Amino acid sequence: MRSCRLCNNEVLGRADKIFCDIKCKNTYNLALRRQTKLEVKPIDRLLHRNREILQLLLGSLKKVMIDKIVMTRANFYWDHCTGLYHNKDGKIYHLVYDFAWMEFSSQQILVVKKKFNLKQVHAQPMSK
């Protein structure tokens, strides 16, 4: 006997069914979405903050060199990004949504606004 993932009642019907009825399915999925929203919020906030800092530093320019200390003082979270991009010269760009930064030297950061090719950004396919 298969039991419902939410209420443990018997599940009848198709072999891939995991809930006894639509109410249990909706309740479960709603709780899952709520928990996800709650868990990702602090990280989302950091990423949004990082994006805002990059946007402020760049202004209307397409690229700019910034002293690392300026970004550190602005409370830039160096270890949070939305992806990595390795260019052909072996440099690593840290993506923050539609912006990216790269450690140009130990003291200088290159900030760019660019649309990257998603195939290049995700070297390995992301699983769902």
- The binding site for Zn ion (CB under 5 A) comprises 4, 6-7, 9, 20, 24
Region label for 8, one of left (φ > 0), alpha (ψ between -120 and 50) or beta (otherwise):
left
Distances (CA, A) of 41 to 11, 37, 48, 67, 73: 34, 6, 10, 29, 23
Q: Closer CB to Zn ion, residue 24 or residue 96? A: 24
Query: Residue 36 Cβ, how far from Zn ion at the closest point, in Å?
Result: 21
Q: How far is the CB of 4 from Zn ion (least distance, A)?
A: 3
CB 102, CB 91: distance < 8 Å = yes
Nearer to Zn ion, 6 or 57 (CB): 6
| Minimum CB distance to Zn ion smaller for 18 or for 112 | 18
- Shortest distance (Å) from residue 39 CB to Zn ion: 24
